[in-house]
Each structure stands twice: as C-alpha cells, then as structure tokens.
Structure 1
C-alpha cells in the first residue's frame, strides 16, 4: 500500500499521478522495471528512449503497460531522425507524458498536444524555458549543476528561481533532491514537484547490477566529478579509477577506443551509415559542439552501458548526482516515495505551524 497522504500540485493535476515526484529518464537505467515500479508507487516514471531502437521502445512501452495501469512518460531525443515516428508511437499507445532533453520543434509539441500528451522539456537556462513555453510546452524540468549526467554550472537554488521568474507554466526542479525535505523546499520556491535520477537508480527496483548499486553507496559528497573528457560536454560522474584515468589521458590516446565504441553503438542502434551520419548532423546543428566533440558524444552510450548494464567499472562510467553522498540504502520505489511524501508533509506542516 502506498501512503494515503497526498500533496496535490499542478504536476499531479497535469499528469494524473498521485505524488509530485518524477523519476527522470536515465539512459540504460530507466527501463520498464523501474518505470512501472515508480508509477505503481504513485510517482511519474519516465522511460529513457535515447539508448533504445524504435522497436525496443515499443516493446518497453508495452511492457510498462502490462506492469501498471498508472500514467508514465517517455523521454525522447528531439534531434533524432525518427523523432516524429516516435511521437506517433507515444500517441498510438496513449503515453501520458513526453519529455525532451533538448527543445522539441514546435510541430512536435503541437502534434503531442493534439492528443492530450503532456509536453515537458528539460532546460538549463531561463531563456530555454521561455522558448519552449512560447511554443506551447505544458511544463518544464530544470536540472541544476548538482545533477548527474550532462549538467550545467548553475546550482538548483539559483536556476530554479530564475526559471520561475521567467515563465508562467509549471516548473519541476531536479538536481540535488533525494528526500522529503528537498520536496518541501522545492515547493516553497514555487516548483510543482521534484525530479530525481540517482535516488531512483539506487532502489531495489533498479535494473543496475546490485554490486554496482552498492558501490555507489560507498561514495561521499566529494565522490563525483564533472568532466568533459567523456564526450566533450560537462558530465557529472562517479570519481572512479577509470574516470580518473580518462581525465589524465590525452585526446590522441583516447581517439582509437573512442572510435571503436562509436562503431559499437552504431551496430547496437541498428542504424545504417546514412541514418547514423544524419543523426550526428542534426545533433551538431542543435548544439554548439565541435566535430571532435560529436565523435566523443557517440562514445558516451557505450561507456555508460559498460558501467550501468555490464557492471564493468574498469571500462565504463557511472553517471551520478552529488546526492550520492547522502544516500545509504536501496529501498523499493514504493518505500522511497512513501517516506518522501510523509517527510515533506511533516516539514510543510511544521513550517505552517510556525508562521506568525
């Protein structure tokens, strides 16, 4: 049984979930098992489709629907060559929420909204929030620099109010959240809920190998590093010996293994050379990366797969937010959501009682 306590916000109203908590779309991590467990706990689970082929995504959506009758979402790459086709897939299967790491085109937003699918892009600056709000997005998720994976330099406590001041659509806060105190704080700022990646990765419902999850628990608040050596963009990862070695290796020495992993990801994705090159060109146009950085970017999925799926920390990397240093257990998603809501209700009630 999930907690009878509820915190109603515009996020719960928009998406139909019980609690204003979002499990973010982490590549190789946010699969059917974790997403359905999150949904059954009353929060919003989001499938990560960037590391899935179209066929794998459809199978994943079907599996989630078999495991739960609750609302869930799918994270899409807005610059993918088959983004339009994937949008139609969400429409066909009645997915409730579409999230995007990059701003989706106006026509994609319009198409999703025609079918009452909630559009929630992730943004790293107020100007990005203003753009997607003007295009019709229903909500945005911000991620402060404390967050894992690709991240910016602005902390959540500054990014959140800057975005709240810039737009009048609901804002979900991510980056540095792991408990009910964080939810209470985010709601006090004016956010409609929180997004969490690392905290959901470190649950018993996560498909990440248990020995890897237990390794995460051994890291402190200084256990992560933001590096550009993985794919040319700031990436927050666990400070493992592999990452320390990557930091100390020159671009020239990284070139051959980078190219090899890029070819491995091409093979895994099932894409032909024309499609693979087209995706790269679209990604290049939608960002300010150099061609060297683009080549490195194709390296990232295989490095993450090695760590998060294969459990090989000597040849792979482990994305993580700074909150890893505050986490010491592996609860189920239901246990996690219940205690976050209970703690948030207690904190908000205490604050209200102390007002004069």
Structure 2
C-alpha cells in the first residue's frame, strides 16, 4: 500500500497495525464507519460499545469486519452489569484488542488474554497503570488532562513520563495529540504511540453531523472547558449556552434532569433499571461519589447523543479535547494518518540533522 512508511514501535508489534496511532473509543462517534476507516488507514480503530446494546455490539463488530481486514478493537466499561456478555462477543468474533475506560478486573484480563485478545486499559493516574500492569494488561493508554470527556487535572507532559517510568508495558499517550510533531514528542517521552479522539471525530469519515463538526472547527482553545454539571465528575467539553445553563442550574433541577435521561438511556441501550442500579453500585465502589452523582452519570450518554447523532447542539453536549482549538480541517482518516506519519518522519529527519 502506498503512502508514508511506518515507524515500528511496541504498539505496532503488539497489535499488528501499520502505524502507532489509535483512534479512541468515543460513545456515539466511534461506530463501524469511523473504526473501519481508521483501521484501513493503518491506525488502530476502537469501536465504542458502552452506548450500544449487546446485540448491536455484535452487529457492529461484524460490520467493521466486513469493511476491513486490519486489526481493530472494542472499548467497553469493565463495571457494566453485562461486561461478561460483551467480552464473550469480543472473543467469539475474533476482535484483536479490548480496551477499557475503567480498569478491568484481574479475572477479566485473564479471560481475554487466555483467548488471545490484547488488553489495553485506559488510565488517568500512575497508580492505576501500575495496578493493571501487575494484573497482566498488555499495554496501557494514559490520558492527560488536555483530553476530552472524563479527565483528570495532570497534563500529558507530566503524566506520560511518570507512567512510562513506572510500568514495563507499552504506553500509549493520549490528550492533546493531533499531528506528527506530537507523535514524535510522545515517542521521545517513551510512549509506543498516540491515541486521538477529537482529531478522528473531526474527519470526513466521522458520522457526526456537519453542523456539529462546524462548532468544533470554530472553537478556540479557550472555548473548551471542564464542568462537573453534566454527571458530577470533571468532564471536558466545548463551552456552549447549554453548558453555561447547566453551570447555573441548582441541585433539584440537576436531579430531575438526571432521572429523565436515565430513563431515556435505559430504553436506548436496552438496559433494565436493576442493571443501571448495579452499574451505579459498581461506579460508586472505591470512589467518593454520592448517589446524586451516580444518578447524574445517566446524563452523559443522552446529552452526547443529542449532539453527536441528532445534531442538536442546543440540547446536547460536545465532549472535546483542548486540541479542538488547533484543528481547522476535515480530512479523511487515510489523509489524516498519512499526513501525521509524513510529518513525524520529516520531524525525525530534521532532529537527526539530516534535513
């Protein structure tokens, strides 16, 4: 296949992809079309399953498989009540990689690895990376505070070298990456590749409505904010009139909204109320979350769906990394990956004095 050559790393060797780039699993965004396009471009495409029913997940995996022969992965919540059913699909369908937004249990990791699946949890702290590495994870994705969605407050440039130093498995850097220079910087820190969400969202292969993409493209770095008003946890997204309204809303209004969205998500995902309660208990375990915060977590899927599927930016929210302020075009996944790799190689050449 023509295009720039690859840069072999521990990530490409582990997963079998051509380039050390991961398209992260974004709910309502990372569906079969985007994942297969990313995979065909030589990146590791990750299918987001948390917003899918179990039946839809199996169909989505088969749809991706019908569009590409390249390796790809599935992202899932380790604390979901039906996590075991989703793991079974990953194994049955021969998916190459399982990624997790929350640390999977030691038993879940072992089950996947016994079936030959590569396990890559996402973490936001060194201690979490150390834990999953000790449990047998094959690699870990570490997201700094610049990243979109649920985020921490430690910048990638501080968190990444800390994790690389702490674990002996490949580390994928996420949070603030969008070009070849960033890939080279991550490799210099000791990472085996980069993960990108917002940059892949803003491609022509993304199914996000055009009007929503236009909002992202128009955003400056200052238009990306962190709020706890959506689900009670720090969440990085574009600042909009809705986000401003949520910031001003009182506790009673937040709880009523959370109940409404919990009901809507239950119908959308096929989950039962008892399943949502079990998921809430799992989320609360080991964390200082109130029941109000757990209930508010039901806001996230439906508020994201309103924007990412329905195009209603007035009713939904738009998770975003700070890097949105640096992006001004909508290339295809193939064009994006080729551009990143060409720029990375040119940067390496310049650094070596050969340029």
TM-score, structure 1 length as denominator? 0.98
Deviation at 1:354, TM superposition (A): 7.0
Deviation at 1:3, TM superposition (A): 1.6
Report if aligned partners of 1:178, 1:196 keep a CA contact under 8 Å in 2.
Answer: yes
C-alpha distance after superposition, 1:201-224 (max 9, x if no partner): 000000100111112100011111
* Number of the residue aligned with 1:203: 203
* Number of the residue aligned with 1:117: 117
TM-score, structure 2 length as denominator? 0.98
Given the superposition, is the C-alpha separation of residues 121 and 2 from structure 1 closer, same or farther in structure 2, using an over 3 Å criterion? farther
Q: In structure 1, how many angstroms separate the alpha carbons of the residues matched to 2:160 and 2:274?
A: 40
Deviation at 1:267, TM superposition (A): 1.3
Deviation at 1:289, TM superposition (A): 1.6
Unaligned runs of 5+ in 1: none
DSSP-derived class of the 2:195 partner: strand
* Number of the residue aligned with 1:307: 307
Deviation at 1:272, TM superposition (A): 2.1
User: Where in structure 1 do 4 or more consecutive aligned residues deviate above 6 Å?
Assistant: none
Report if aligned partners of 2:258, 2:297 keep a CA contact under 8 Å in 1.
Answer: no
C-alpha distance after superposition, 1:228-281 (max 9, x if no partner): 010000000101111111111111222222211111111112122222222221
Unaligned runs of 5+ in 2: none
DSSP-derived class of the 2:98 partner: strand
* Number of the residue aligned with 1:46: 46
* Number of the residue aligned with 2:280: 280
Report if aligned partners of 1:2, 1:338 keep a CA contact under 8 Å in 2.
Answer: no
* Number of the residue aligned with 2:136: 136
Cα RMSD over matched residues? Answer: 1.2
Query: How many residue pairs align between the two structures?
Result: 355
Report if aligned partners of 2:303, 2:317 keep a CA contact under 8 Å in 1.
Answer: yes
Q: In structure 2, how many angstroms separate the alpha carbons of the residues matched to 1:186 and 1:198?
A: 17
C-alpha distance after superposition, 1:316-356 (max 9, x if no partner): 1000000011000000000000000000011012112279x
* Number of the residue aligned with 2:88: 88
Establish whether residue 158 from structure 1 lines up as the match of residue 166 from structure 2: no
Q: In structure 1, how many angstroms separate the alpha carbons of the residues matched to 2:26 and 2:57?
A: 14
C-alpha distance after superposition, 1:290-333 (max 9, x if no partner): 11100000111101101111111111100000001100000000
Deviation at 1:84, TM superposition (A): 1.4
C-alpha distance after superposition, 1:75-97 (max 9, x if no partner): 01000111112111111111000
Deviation at 1:176, TM superposition (A): 0.2
